[in-house]
Amino acid sequence: MKKHIIIIGSILLNVLFGQAYTLESCETNISGNTPEFFQKYFQCVDASLSESGNYINLYFNGLAPYESWYYPNGDPNHIDWYSQGQGSFLIPNAYITEVNYVVSIPVNPEARPNLSIDGDAVDGEVGTSNFEYPMGSVGSALNGVNMFNPCASPPDVIEDEAASFDLYNGHPAGGELYHYHTTSPGPLEVLQHKGLIQTTTVGSGEIEVYGIMCDGVVVLGCTELDGSTPNSSDWDAQNGHVHDMVDEEGTTMFTNRYHTHICYDDITEDDTDGNGFQEHEFTPEISYYKTPGMGQSFERCNSMTSPIENDMLALDDEFIPIEFSLYQNYPNPFNPTTNIDFDLSQNGQVELAIFDLMGKRIRTLVYGYEKAGYKSITWDATNDFGQSVSAGMYFYRISAGDFHSVKKMVLLK
């Protein structure tokens, strides 16, 4: 079991404590040895290098960190369905559930030789190319939501499925696997959460990056990674091209990396971008890169339950969170012990203390210099340093640099 995964599932925590699953409450653990692209842009995922250093193992659970009518009734993230226009419908008995996935993305992906991504390859039909992504989950959006192959299972038409999308252009498949086929404000909200953009309206974001496919293809919207307008003159049939991917600060995230642009106003068959092909409106259909180690014909990748290689874990390796977080203790209520987890995104002075309802300090659990990483502390309230701790409500507070957070817990006797 990976040391940075909390055993209790996110949905169970939501139910127990009535806490919505959001960009603030989700788990994010990005190892410092992964490429900067993952550290800068992703939230609600775990990421680390594999043992050989040849793969980034990207773990995600497919949960949507926002409200949707595909969350079941009673879930804090549930809202009621309403029609978004003509033909709009709700998929019956389809719910967002937590399913843990991992994609092993090659650090230096190898392009398929002599591959031409033309209109015959990108035809929106299943099984007409040896290089199509498999059906199902083949990548992760910035917020840990599945990204699917853009094709629909025969005889469905993928454009018709758009009528079942929620407000974030997502829906479940097979009754539970929530995913995107196309652009969504969800990943843009991650960029806003990180202070990288101000506008989360699809097509108008200062930067529009949505996620990454399992073979290393990056999915962008109407901008390049630095916010500039893309040059469509060299786009292939799925609006893909190859060049260095440089962010708004001039940092090269990837060298000569193939990536696609999903940018449109309406679903149409017209060639609105002038690249000579029918408009590309969904996630990539053709896998540009090979993924060695998949054990499949043509080395086509997909999401898995375990990585190709285990994570690289040196003795002093720590998974460095990208932000400070204090989590709800578990179990809660408790008797007599409980666990308190927190994330430190930087080294520094940390204080974690427990107080009663009157503000009296009951116990200092942590005080001093701590290295960045995921931390877990157990408090045993049976007889704390000879002082009897009575049943009731208590507060625990953390201070780390400019980060301060307080949560409550209940001790039963």
pLDDT of residue 174 exceeding 80: no
pLDDT of residue 8 exceeding 60: no
Q: Which domains does the chain have, with CATH numbers?
A: 1-323 (no CATH), 324-411 (2.60.40.10)
Q: What is the pLDDT of residues 274-332, one digit of tens each?
A: 788 888 889 999 999 999 988 766 789 999 999 999 998 643 455 567 778 898 888 88
* Cβ contact 105:307 at 8 Å: no
* Cβ contact 150:180 at 8 Å: no
* Cβ contact 124:193 at 8 Å: no
Tokens of 111: 């392009």
The confidence score (pLDDT) of residue 227 equals: 97
* Cβ contact 394:412 at 8 Å: no
Tokens of 342: 């927190």
Neighbours of 313 (CB within 10 A): 15
Neighbours of 249 (CB within 10 A): 7
Q: What angle do CA 167, 245, 151 make, to 5 degrees?
A: 40
Q: Whole-prediction pTM value?
A: 0.75
Backbone angles phi and psi of 39, in degrees to 5: -65, -35
Largest pairwise CA distance in the chain: 79
Give the residue ranges of DSSP H helices in 197-348.
Answer: none
Give dist(CA 30, CA 26) in Å, integer: 13
Based on its alpha-carbon atoms, the radius of gyration of the chain, rounded to whole angstroms, reads: 23
The confidence score (pLDDT) of residue 7 equals: 31
Give dist(CA 285, CA 125) in Å, integer: 9
DSSP character at residue 203: T
Q: What is the pLDDT of residues 182-231, one digit of tens each?
A: 999 999 999 999 999 999 999 999 999 999 999 999 999 999 999 999 99
**258: part of which helix (H) or strand (E)?**
strand 252-261
If you average pLDDT over residues 171-176, what whole number do you get? Answer: 86
**153: part of which helix (H) or strand (E)?**
none
Neighbours of 246 (CB within 10 A): 16
Q: How confident is the model at residue 266 (pLDDT cuts 50, 70, 90)?
A: confident
Q: What is the pLDDT of residues 31-83, one digit of tens each?
A: 888 999 999 999 999 999 999 999 999 999 999 999 999 999 999 999 999 99
Q: What angle do CA 76, 39, 321 make, to 5 degrees?
A: 60
Give dist(CA 335, CA 7) in Å, integer: 19
Give dist(CA 369, CA 390) in Å, integer: 30
Alpha-carbon separation of residue 59 from 2, 321, 401 (angstroms): 11, 14, 29
Q: How confident is the model at residue 27 (pLDDT cuts 50, 70, 90)?
A: confident
* Cβ contact 94:70 at 8 Å: yes
